[in-house]
Structures are given as structure tokens and as C-alpha cells.
Amino acid sequence: MKTILVMGGAGYIGSHTVKHLLKNGYQCVVADNLVYGHREAVPENAVFMQADLMDKESLKKVFDSFDIEAVIHFAAFAYVGESVVHPQKYYMNNVVGTLNLLEAMKEAGVMKIVFSSTCATYGEPQYTPIDEAHPQNPINPYGRSKLMIEQIFQDYAKAYGLKYIALRYFNAAGCDGEGEIGESHTPETHLIPLILKAIKGEREAIQVFGTDYPTKDGTCIRDYIHVEDLALAHRLALEKLDVFSGYLNLGTGIGSSVKEMIQAAEEVSGRTCPVRYAERRAGDPAVLFADNKKAKEILGWSPAYTDIREIIRTAWNWELHKRY
Ligand code: UDP
């Protein structure tokens, strides 16, 4: 039986996608270097292989061992701040690493890929909602590394017949509705888990980065898209690779402010969140939210979670019962 290779399948979005694929009758091989991924996040009915994008032999071994039909590629470093300080790490792992993966795919005759891209490829928005035609001027090495890969896909499609869909995520959020897997980053930098840790008393307070943005309440607005909705979009993308190659935004199309997120988390948990107002964080645009029409049209996809309370509820459940 043909198998889907999930590179980076032990990470946050990857593991939720693996769970979704298995539930929908797919066979999966999960490959991960476990630098940021969690072995516990890989279900028992998925095959696991430790592999690293920078180790071509380990990639070759994966392709030699299984009859792989397509690859979903999540494996990347994804800390924006770190990418500014250590660009080499980001260009090597994200760009060179993906070239290594493409080389192994090509040698094995596997020419289908679904890729984790990001709204960070757009940079400072010129208008919102952001559609796929919005100019791409990323403002940090992380965003640039993802844009470079998008561009490499175009050339590989022309020259070698690669079929690709790059999914540009907005803010991935929430956890598995069944509470089996969830978000666990070290260090944690994302808003929702940090709010929940402040509510639990694991952190002193949530720092709100900037209160003087030109938004309704002065705090930044983002588009929080549930990780299960992302997982679904990856499966639908896999199923569309024969008829479509290109780029799709994945967001709800709804913008929520940092203050709204804190208030929603207080409602969901029934507890108060200690808050500290702080300076703006460098590189944060005031408002980012998606025009998701193209993903809806091409994939027949629609996000199930459109209420931030429901998204936060799944994250709160994980925060209270997490396994890793
Ligand atoms: N944010 C915040 N305090 C934090 C972490 C994040 O105020 O401790 C804000 C951040 O400025 C942004 C939003 O929350 O407007 C989402 O940030 P996150 O790092 O989760 O995702 P990003 O938008 O950077 O991908």
C-alpha cells in the first residue's frame, strides 16, 4: 500500500495531521529528527523513523524503505527571533534541508509535496485581508527561508514535473479535540499557551507586546486557525495535487486582538489572567488576517473552528492534561 511520508510529523502541526490522516485511512511514515518534535506525539499505528533533513543518508533510507506516494513537509525551524540572530541555521535547515529532501524525492521518483509555508512570507501587510496575490516581502530570515522554498518549487515544477501545494498558515492554534496530542514548544513563544500558563500560575503574567497599535483596542490583531482545520487542509491538499499546484492561505478570515484572546481565555478557564503591558515586539505588524477564499474554492475546505473560545477550550484542555 502506498504511504504518505510526513517529515516533521512529531511536531505540533505535523502530529495533528498524522492523526487526521490515519483516521481517514491513510498509511503514514513519520520522519523527524526529534530536535523539537516529541516521540510521544506519534501514534502507535504510524511507522516512525528518525531522520534529519541535513543527513542525506537518513532521507535516502526512508525512501528506500517504503513505497511513498507523496510527502507532507513540516520539518523546519520556526522561531522568528532566532532566525534574525542565527540566519545560517535557518537557511541551512529550512532551505538546504528542503533541497536535500527534494533530491531524495526525485531519486525515488516521488514528485508530490504539500509544504508548510507561512503568512510571514508576506511581510508587513499592504492591505487586509491578505490574499495570495499580496506582494511577498518577508522581513526576517524565517519568512525569507519559506519564500525561497516556495520559489524553488516553481522551478522544480517546470523542470522536473514536481506537483506542490504550499499552505500559508496564519496563526496555528488549539489542540486535538480528544486531548491526545497538543502544542508543546521549548521555549514557548506563542500567545495562547503563554496566556494559559499565566492563568495556571506557571508564569508570572502574560506580557502584552504593544498597546498603541492602530487597532480597536491598541493590541495586535491575528487570525487564529485551529490545528485540526490545518490538518484537514493538508489531507485535502494531498488529494488535489494531481489537479492543482500553487499557494493557499489557511486562516479563518477573522481577526482577534491580543486583549480579546486574553478575555476569551479567562472565560474558558473561569480564572483571571495576570497581565503585564509591555513594549512592542520588533517585527510584529499591527493587523494580519487571511482572505481564505482560494483555499475554500480549490480544496473545498472550510474551517470548523471560527470562535476563539472553542479554539482556546481545546488548548486549555491540553494545558491541564498534557502528556509531553
Ligand atoms: N504576543 C504577546 N505576548 C506574548 C506573545 C505574543 O502580546 O507573550 C502577541 C504578538 O505580539 C502577536 C500575537 O500575540 O501580536 C501572536 O503572537 P505569536 O508569537 O503567538 O505568533 P506570531 O503572530 O508571531 O506568529
Ligand 1 closest atom vs CA 120: 25
Sign of the dihedral through C-alpha 280, 285, 286, 287: negative
pLDDT digits (tens, 9 = 90+) for 264-313: 999 999 999 999 999 999 889 999 999 999 999 999 999 999 999 999 99
Ligand 1 closest atom vs CA 220: 15
Other beta carbons within 10 angstroms of residue 126's beta carbon come to: 10
The predicted pLDDT at position 2 comes to 82
Ligand 1 lined by 185 (C-beta under 6 Å): no
| Most ligand 1 atoms within 8 A of CB, residue of 211, 222, 227, 259 to mutate | 222
The predicted pLDDT at position 42 comes to 97
pLDDT digits (tens, 9 = 90+) for 212-229: 999 999 999 999 999 999
Protein residue with its CA nearest to atom 6 in ligand 1: 191
The predicted pLDDT at position 65 comes to 96
From the list 168, 169, 164, 142, the residue with the least C-alpha distance to 154 is: 164
Ligand 1 closest atom vs CA 284: 11
The predicted pLDDT at position 230 comes to 98
Find the 135 Cα to ligand 1 centroid distance in Å.
23
The set of residues, in sequence order, having a beta carbon less than 8 Å from that of 276 and lying 6+ positions away, is 204, 205, 206, 207, 208
Q: What is the 3-state secondary structure (H, E, C) of the chain?
A: CCEEEEECCCCHHHHHHHHHHHHCCCCEEEEECCCCCCHHHCCCCCEEEECCCCCHHHHHHHHHHCCEEEEEECCCCCCHHHHHHCHHHHHHHHHHHHHHHHHHHHHHCCCEEEEEEEHHHCECCCCCCECCCCCCECCCHHHHHHHHHHHHHHHHHHHHCCEEEEEEECEEECCCCCCCCCCCCCCCCCHHHHHHHHHHCCCCCEEEECCCCCCCCCCCEECEEEHHHHHHHHHHHHCCCCCCCEEEEECCCCCEEHHHHHHHHHHHHCCCCCEEEECCCCCCCCECCECCHHHHHHHCCCCCCCCHHHHHHHHHHHHHHCCC
Across 173-183, average pLDDT: 97
pLDDT digits (tens, 9 = 90+) for 86-142: 999 999 999 999 999 999 999 999 999 999 999 999 999 999 999 999 999 999 999
Protein residue with its CA nearest to atom 15 in ligand 1: 220
Q: Which three cell numbers stand for residue 302?
A: 472550510
Ligand 1 closest atom vs CA 258: 14
Distance CA 171, CA 26 (A): 26
The predicted pLDDT at position 52 comes to 98
Protein residue with its CA nearest to atom 13 in ligand 1: 191
Cβ contact 13:183 at 8 Å: no
| Most ligand 1 atoms within 8 A of CB, residue of 204, 281, 308, 311 to mutate | 281
Ligand 1 lined by 126 (C-beta under 6 Å): no
Burial 165-185 (b: 16+ CB within 10 A, else e): bbbbbbbbbbbbbeebbbbbe
The predicted pLDDT at position 140 comes to 96
Distance CA 197, CA 175 (A): 15
Residue 82 has pLDDT above 90, yes or no: yes
Find the 295 Cα to ligand 1 centroid distance in Å.
24
From the list 201, 183, 181, the residue with the least C-alpha distance to 193 is: 183
Ligand 1 lined by 208 (C-beta under 6 Å): yes
pLDDT digits (tens, 9 = 90+) for 42-55: 999 899 999 999 99
Catalogue the active-site residues: 142
From the list 130, 173, 201, the residue with the least C-alpha distance to 264 is: 173
Residue 1 has pLDDT above 80, yes or no: no
Dihedral pair phi/psi, residue 148, rounded to 5°: -60, -40
Ligand 1 lined by 209 (C-beta under 6 Å): yes
Q: Measured at the alpha carbon of residue 201, what is the angle toward residues 195 and 206, in degrees to the nearest 5?
A: 30
Residue 68 has pLDDT above 90, yes or no: yes
Ligand 1 lined by 281 (C-beta under 6 Å): yes
The predicted pLDDT at position 74 comes to 98
